[in-house]
Structure 1
């Protein structure tokens, strides 16, 4: 694969048959810009899909603080319901591309994986988490929904309900216990562990591995995953565009005081009442 293509928001490389996509916005905690980051990741995945030398793919965030903190909310303007649905569908398209990528995709969670960042990680085949990693879907706290309804197909119902209803983060040990991570390693060892896992996958005959992944995806679809994700995307659109008083209050804080104040206003009541 040629490394001539350049991107604005991601770094791409191939190392011994393992393709790497690194979200390169550490100053924004690797938040995703809808018009660039999502599209660049999807383009890189497409290039890897066509590259016979790439046998596995790793996705991680730049730096040690965040895999991705989801949508870059400060970059989102007021939008019509039709535009919101287009953005939600585009975001879901990213997760579906990862989910259906011919090669296995490894999430190397190097810190916070939040909202769309959590969905991106959970759409991968294998998850390796740094010991300081956190997984969270807090959108319900500001009147939105998780963008990719994948967790019911990955772990038990009670954990799913608590995770989605309250938005509390899971640490790396909880992710491992619930089967949401395959392995937890020290942060300094994360890249080496992800690379080693990718190289081990590369030992499997290529056609057999791709057909096995295709069969597994068909099994999830028979369990209703595809329909559930599509219906949930519509529900998410309706919630984002609902303009509820709680939403307006928090979004006003975001616009006038910034992201830090928004997160404090949204999450502090949940911290003080956590069981």
Structure 2
């Protein structure tokens, strides 16, 4: 298993732990981060001695704060194509590897970081964790799970509230509405995740894999929709609304989206 400056990969008995290693920017991702994560998960998927994959973030504040917004201030279609394609490949890899993936949510899971939680098979959160999407607030929209699969967990109206209004939800409410599986005290998070992993390791690996793949029915049905949405999103990449949203965020001000309705 290989680590990089973007992620840390370590083996703990028959569990592989992967950590987003960009604490300096709240573990926000870019093309390199998702590429390293996809490659690591794919490599682990071929290892029959690994039974569970755990994803988490470095530090105590953030699991993954989504895409690195500074990159969106000067975004081009060619750049967007690379980022959206690698994102799609990552999420497909997460769904197709034989090992269940547990998100150990140690802090903020926002934007694409929340979509990683949605795409994971199970999710256990620290009491400090926060969940939400920021797409329409920054000039984007979550096509790889947020706009579609999230509604399967929390209901259509609640999912639209989370995405259209860009609201954040605390861990206890997220558990109550079915967004995640369990909330634990922050100091107990990793021990609890390992307990869940150990429970899985005591089960038949072949039938765990079959259960995972057969449970992908909604994801598989949504895949063509995600592809179509990606093509539409590409045409908006680098447009004035995305530039305004990303610039406003970096300048710590409210974006002026009302001007686009005049």
Question: Is the TM value for this pair above 0.5?
Answer: yes
Other structure's SS at 2:189 match: helix
**C-alpha deviations, 1:185-219, integer Å up to 9, x for none?**
011111111111111111111111101111111x2
User: In the alignment, what sits opposite 1:167?
Assistant: 166
User: In the alignment, what sits opposite 1:78?
Assistant: 74
Q: Which runs of 5+ in 1 are unaligned?
A: 268-275
User: In the alignment, what sits opposite 1:249?
Assistant: 244
Q: Compared with structure 1, are the counterparts of its residues 10 and 107 closer, same or farther at alpha carbon in structure 2 (3 Å cutoff)? A: same
Contact kept? 2:72, 2:243, Cα under 8 Å = no
User: In the alignment, what sits opposite 1:272?
Assistant: none
Measured after TM superposition, the shift of residue 265 of structure 1 is: 2.2
Q: Compared with structure 1, are the counterparts of its residues 54 and 135 closer, same or farther at alpha carbon in structure 2 (3 Å cutoff)? A: same
1:265 matched to 2:254: yes
Measured after TM superposition, the shift of residue 221 of structure 1 is: 4.6
Distance 1:37 1:167 in 2: 24
**C-alpha deviations, 1:209-251, integer Å up to 9, x for none?**
101111111x2256x321222222223323333323xx44344
Q: Compared with structure 1, are the counterparts of its residues 106 and 266 closer, same or farther at alpha carbon in structure 2 (3 Å cutoff)? A: farther
User: In the alignment, what sits opposite 1:158?
Assistant: 157
User: In the alignment, what sits opposite 1:7?
Assistant: 4
Query: TM-score with structure 1 length normalisation?
Result: 0.85
Distance 1:75 1:248 in 2: 10
User: In the alignment, what sits opposite 2:98?
Assistant: 102
Contact kept? 1:130, 1:186, Cα under 8 Å = yes
Other structure's SS at 1:265 match: coil
Contact kept? 2:139, 2:246, Cα under 8 Å = no
CA RMSD of aligned residues (A): 2.1
Q: Compared with structure 1, are the counterparts of its residues 248 and 45 closer, same or farther at alpha carbon in structure 2 (3 Å cutoff)? A: closer
Distance 1:75 1:82 in 2: 13
Distance 1:85 1:181 in 2: 30
Distance 1:167 1:116 in 2: 13
User: In the alignment, what sits opposite 1:111?
Assistant: 107
- Equivalent residue pairs, number: 254
Other structure's SS at 2:67 match: coil
